[in-house]
Amino acid sequence: MHTSCDKRTIVSSPFKTILAIETSCDETAAAVVSDGRHLVANIVASQIDIHRRYGGVVPEVASRQHILAIESVVREAIAQTPGGWDTIDAIAATYGPGLSGALLTGLNTAKTLAWSRGLPFLQVNHVEAHLYATWIGGEVVPQFPAVALVVSGGHTLLALLRDHADAERLGGTLDDAAGEAFDKVARLLVLGYPGGPAIQNNAVAPASSQRLPRAWLHGTYDFSFSGLKTAVGTDPTLVAAGVAGNQDDLMRRRCELAYLFQESVVDILVRKTQAAVAASGACSVIVAGGVAANARLREVLRTKLRVPLHIPPLDLCTDNAAMIAACAYWHPVNGDLAVAVDPNLPFA
Ligand code: KG4
Ligand code: ZN
């Protein structure tokens, strides 16, 4: 399919400077972004060290931590904004998808601040917002239509963006999210938490030409990672190394399986993205979410894609509020102060 990739007129938002709040999972974050692109303040209080001992995010613990951190995180974002509150034109917050108790803190804080300061309130979809991390700071913004891949701890989604607020979901995961698979496999291989960086940093190519399975789900843009996870956990040489009890052999095999797992995930993500570009005639590709920080994924995408690739800097791949502000800028529809959190909020 052929599509014209002519430049579009950029419609600007009525809200020049936006304060945004994000608390959908385990990061308490507040940011101020102007013109949807320029980062003024970006504060992220991560709970990774607290959840590490459990090997995953504990929702109740996350909710309590957000309550403890939110006030100082917002104060710091405003303190770092030249002109402070006087420059803020609107307040945005994530209202889903995510952990309901966690979302509540950020959403209620944003609504309260908007009401008490008489500012417009803008409600934002967290998964859509991940894509807007690519608008921040970059010289060149993504051109529509764009194929968008969101790969995070909670979400794996492929979509076609025809314009701002005009998206079509192409497919998503049928079981584990990509980041969730990294986390679970790292746990199986006893490599650490969070699993993405642990797998990436420990991956060692085996001498053999072994490959782990890839669930292609031909004819769809869907993904499945649970079979791959099982293939790692039941790998005969891993099991044998465990029984033999030689710690060096066991560790070497774990690192090899980390490599093979990462190769399978990257291969599937890249090929499905390429197929979506070919079928849609998209002018660019956006890849975002925590797994977009993966060095191997970034490398393969850069070599394989034939259209411009937009991928956020590492610190804007994982959860942050700057992406919420950027997303709100391009969707300046006045929000509803009565809106409730929606843990299962769908994309588009
Ligand atoms: O976007 P994010 O901060 O949270 C959600 O919205 O879910 O993503 C967190 C996920 C975790 O699963 C983490 O293991 C993964 O992103 N991640 C990575 C890397 N860095 C973080 N996955 C693969 N490679 C990485 N370098
Ligand atoms: Zn996220």
Tell me the two tokens of residue 150: 């969101």
DSSP state of 127: H
**Side by side, which strands form the sheet with 146-151?**
166-172, 156-163, 146-151, 284-288, 309-310
Ligand nearest to the CA of 291: 1
Taking the C-alpha atoms of residue 118 and residue 137, their distance in angstroms, rounded to an integer, is 29
CA of residue 313 to ligand 1 center, whole Å: 13
Per-residue pLDDT of the chain (348 residues; tens, 9 = 90+): 556 775 554 567 899 999 999 999 999 999 999 999 999 999 999 999 999 988 889 999 999 999 999 999 999 999 999 999 999 999 999 999 999 999 999 999 999 999 999 999 999 999 999 999 999 998 889 999 999 999 999 999 999 999 998 999 999 999 999 999 999 999 999 999 999 999 999 999 999 999 999 999 999 999 999 999 999 999 999 999 899 989 999 999 999 999 999 999 999 999 999 999 999 999 999 999 999 999 999 999 999 999 999 999 999 999 999 999 999 999 878 788 999 999 999 997
Coil vs helix vs strand at 132: helix
Nearest CA among 193, 186, 205, 212 for reference residue 252: 205
Mutation test of ligand 1: which of 127, 152, 314 has the most ligand atoms closer than 8 Å to its C-beta? 152
- The domains located in the chain, with CATH, are 17-136+316-330 (3.30.420.40), 146-310 (3.30.420.40)
The DSSP secondary-structure symbol of 281 reads: T
Q: Residue 58: what residue type?
A: V
Nearest CA to ligand 1 atom 8: 290
Are the beta carbons of 194 and 54 closer than 8 angstroms? no
Query: Is 221 in contact with 158 (CB distance < 8 Å)?
Result: yes
Can you state the angle between helices 195-202 and 247-280, rounded to 10 degrees? Answer: 110
- Ligand 1, atom 26: closest residue by C-alpha: 294
**For residue 226, what are its two tokens?**
């649970």
Kindly report the pTM of this predicted structure: 0.94
Q: Which of 131, 175, 43 is nearest to 311 (CA)?
A: 131
Written as six digits, the tokens of 341 are 């959190």
Ligand 1 site: residues with CB under 6 angstroms? 25, 152-154, 179-180, 182-183, 194-197, 200, 289-291, 293-294, 318-319
Contact 238, 254 (CB under 8 A): yes
Measured from the alpha carbon of residue 192, the closest ligand is 1
Would you call 133 exposed, middle or buried from its count of C-beta atoms within 10 A (0-12, 13-18, 19+)? buried
Nearest CA to ligand 1 atom 18: 196
Instruction: Classify burial at 282, counting beta carbons within 10 Å of its beta carbon; exposed 0-12, middle 13-18, buried 19 or more.
Output: buried
